[in-house]
Amino acid sequence: MTSPLPFRPNQFRHASAIDGPREFRDGRWRTFEPPPPVEWRLRGRPWKLRPGLTFTPYANPTRCNAHCAFCSEELLREDADRLTARTLIDHPDRYFAGLDRAWSELAGFPMGMSLSGLEATSEPAWLLRLLALIERHDALFPERVLYTNGTGLSTDDRLVPALARARFDRIELSRCHLDERVNHRLMRFDLAQPIRRRPVFEETLQKIHTSGIPVKLVCILNAEGVATVEDVEAYLDGAEGLGVRQVVFRELSLLGSIYRENRETRWIEKNRAPVRALLDRILPEAGETRAGWELQGVTSGYYYYNEVYRRRGVEVTLEGSSYVAQRDARESGVVQKLVFHSTGDLCGDWVPNAQVIGHYFEG
């Protein structure tokens, strides 16, 4: 069998151009062909940047207000000596001045804004200040996405309109299960957070819908929640009833042997629900697509692989990814991702001591 044609950045290969899914599923992110890097000077040194990379101002103004069983921010790589999640932003003026310096040096290099980390909505004053700074650097971020558990959106009526004014392209709202009790067993919200309750979650969804910002529900596949095709379809039925038009089901990322063993790695390996098993039931390697499902297309990136379907009125993305592939791409010497940490360091990695580009708390 010949290898599939490689994917270019942001390329969506439509179903009409796909003879069968097996060659793509077998290749996954290895079918991605990175574009030539762009050289850019940061802190007085030349760096090779991947065109189309995303920038994350790591959101940790407070400790996270949920404690998900599978939390990736609690995973410590073997080559790391600390977690960004444990170092909170303790001096906002200094933090935002440093972030402003970093973005000024990057002016002219368009990127995606990927707002995540811990919980970006946990401290509304921090988020509102960040949105104001994004608007000052408007041309830098043609695409803007917030990844959130929705806690602040449910309690502070200023945030959703502010995100709309800042022209966010979508909000990816995490909800592992539409049954309140099952979801709480997985996401483990602080008990004071109203969104842990189903009615408040629904009200928050409606608030986002009203704002006009597209919302995508995010469900992490796992053996204690949504794991089978039947589970997926039940989730989609509930989501469609809430007016949701996009849902992504994400497999827990492959960890390989690059992380130190802890509570989270043990839970992940015990409860992993392979996305490949779902794909092979929805669209077998030989045979017809499962009733009610229609393949839209396939896409691949440097550490992820997606198949996109239509089921009734909902666009469904089934995604697999690998933190090992993410690390290998970084070790190529090309900066694949930019993360601004609470320490003032801009890095090419989620790990605060990996691929450190420079310190921005000083002019």
The domain segmentation of the chain, as residue ranges, is: 13-359
Say what the alpha-carbon torsion angle 50, 322, 307, 215 is, to the nearest 10 degrees.
-80
d(CA 42, CA 32): 27
d(CA 225, CA 362): 46
β-strand partners of 322: 254
pLDDT (tens digit per residue) in 57-85: 999 999 999 999 999 999 999 988 888 88
Helix (H, G, I), strand (E, B) or coil at 310: strand
Nearest C-alpha neighbor of 319 from the set 273, 259, 255, 286? 273
> Encoding tokens for residue 325?
């592939």
Q: Are 84 and 78 in contact (CB under 8 A)?
A: no
Per-residue model confidence (pLDDT) at position 4:
66
Per-residue model confidence (pLDDT) at position 3:
57
Nearest C-alpha neighbor of 344 from the set 110, 48, 13, 58? 58
Q: Are 359 and 87 in contact (CB under 8 A)?
A: no
Q: How many residues does the chain have?
A: 363
d(CA 174, CA 166): 21
Q: Are 223 and 193 in contact (CB under 8 A)?
A: no
Q: Are 355 and 63 in contact (CB under 8 A)?
A: no
Q: What does the DSSP 8-state code read for residue 281? A: H
Q: How many CA atoms lie within 13 A of 1 on its CB side?
A: 11
Q: How many CA atoms lie within 13 A of 58 on its CB side?
A: 27
Opening angle at CA 154, ends 201 and 168, nearest 5: 100
The tens-digit pLDDT sequence of the chain (363 residues) is 455 678 876 778 888 888 777 778 888 888 888 889 999 999 999 999 999 999 999 999 999 999 999 999 999 999 888 888 888 999 999 999 999 999 999 999 999 999 999 999 999 999 999 999 999 999 999 999 999 999 999 999 999 999 999 999 999 999 999 999 999 999 999 999 999 999 999 999 999 999 999 999 999 999 999 999 999 999 999 999 999 999 999 999 999 999 999 999 999 999 999 999 999 999 997 678 999 999 999 999 999 999 999 999 999 999 999 999 998 998 889 999 999 999 999 999 998 888 999 999 987
Say what the alpha-carbon torsion angle 187, 193, 197, 200 is, to the nearest 10 degrees.
-120
Position 81: which residue type? Answer: D
CATH node for 13-359: 3.80.30.10
Could you tell me the pTM of the whole model?
0.95
d(CA 323, CA 303): 7
